[in-house]
Structure 1
Amino acid sequence: MQTKKAPASPVKLRIVLDEEAFLGPGKADLLQGIAETGSIAAAGRRLGMSYKRAWLLAETLNGYFHEPLVTAATGGKAGGGATLTKLGQDVLVRYRRMVAASEAACAEDVAALNKLRGRKLRGKSAK
């Protein structure tokens, strides 16, 4: 039995830390996946991305801050794995809190826009 996917948020928040450092839903979802699975590869698979792409994003995130957000141990007998550091957990919590606040602040206007549309467009983009 398939479970229904939760509807996507109508608000997509992208935080611009500087001209080369961005934190958005994809990077936050990767951090969440690493926290939940203990693996960069598994977190990447959840998001439909290659291990190489997931590793690159984790390294990119680590470069944004004065300390790493993700630590990784190589495989072998111990099995390897990855975890969020205390800073990584803090960054993820703060991002999720900003998203929730943004959604709450926009909810009334998003509902009004949907009423103004009159109907939902399925699979078609409005031009």
Structure 2
Amino acid sequence: MNIPSSAKSKRMYSLTIIVLALASAAVMISGCISNSSESTIWKDAPDVDINTDGTVTYVDLEGGFYGIISNDGTKYYPLNLGEDIKKDGLKVRFLADTKDDIMTVQQWGIPVEIISIKEI
């Protein structure tokens, strides 16, 4: 079967347009998926008291413990810091709620409950 060249060109053009449209859609969808989870967790977290970056710090008081000093110098005493994050000098981004009704033996920093934390 011999198809005239103009019909071949039209089919090739149509196929190229379809492939480009599908590829563009796939790229846009993958970008939306990865960005939406990041923004939900870190940027648009209205229900948390603290959404900041800081450095995990070992404090050698009262037997020793780990705290977080934010980039603006605020000291936080996390009540539920995971063992994998307890590394002196580790840079982190975290979401936390303050616990105003708690007093600690350490008397260092603002007591907080970590909602989410990740190394940066």
TM-score category, normalised to shorter length = under 0.3
Report the structure, 1 or 2, having the larger strand content.
2
**Structure 1 length normalisation: TM-score?**
0.23
